[in-house]
């Protein structure tokens, strides 16, 4: 089975909202649809989406990774994240951060490393969700491109 990964457009707004609500996530997300990447199957159905929040020109935060587990495999998730990392790098994002619920081993396979609070850029620490995440003592990972 093949998939197409592409940058979302304004025309994708309603299909993204439907996909998000179908998966059971609150669909009240960012309306900057161009910050989303979508993966579609051969039938044109969304199977996964991710949003890259641009914090500065070179700093991004991976947000809203949602997958339809009935339509994809765990290998696809890794491939989708690799495509997302490639896209971010091509867009000039040299430091991509991800809020995680645990020390997920697969993130290390993608080149992410756990970052201590004191090492986070001030611009990232100023994001409300990042502050809440840190207060809960949850890990933050980063992939830094040199």
One DSSP character per residue, 85-108 reads HHHHHHTT--EEEEE-SS--HHHH
Helix, coil or strand: residue 128: helix
pLDDT number for residue 26:
62
Buried b (16+ CB within 10 A) or exposed e, 33-67: bebbbbbbbeeeebbbbbbbbebeebbbbbbbebb
Flag whether the pTM goes above 0.95.
no
Q: Give the homologous superfamily in CATH for domain 4-144.
A: Gcn5-related N-acetyltransferase (GNAT) (3.40.630.30)
- The domain spans of the chain are 4-144
Residue tagged 């830094």 (tokens): 144
pLDDT number for residue 63:
85
Residues of the chain with pLDDT under 50: none
Q: Which helix (H) or strand (E) holds 80?
A: helix 74-90
**75-113 pLDDT per residue, tens:** 888 889 999 999 999 999 999 999 888 877 778 888 899
């Amino acid at each position: 089975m093949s998939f197409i990964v592409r940058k979302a457009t304004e025309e994708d707004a309603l299909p993204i909202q439907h996909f998000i609500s179908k998966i059971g996530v609150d669909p009240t997300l960012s309306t900057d649809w161009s910050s989303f990447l979508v993966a579609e199957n051969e039938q044109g159905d969304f199977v996964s989406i991710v949003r890259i929040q641009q914090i500065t020109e070179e700093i991004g935060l991976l947000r809203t990774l949602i997958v339809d587990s009935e339509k994809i495999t765990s290998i696809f998730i890794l491939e989708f994240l690799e495509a997302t990392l490639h896209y971010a790098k091509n867009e000039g994002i040299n430091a991509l951060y991800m809020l995680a619920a645990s020390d997920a081993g697969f993130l290390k396979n993608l080149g992410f490393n756990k970052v201590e609070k004191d090492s986070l850029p001030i611009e990232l620490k100023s994001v409300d969700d990042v502050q809440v995440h840190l207060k809960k003592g949850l890990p933050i990972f980063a992939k830094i491109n040199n």
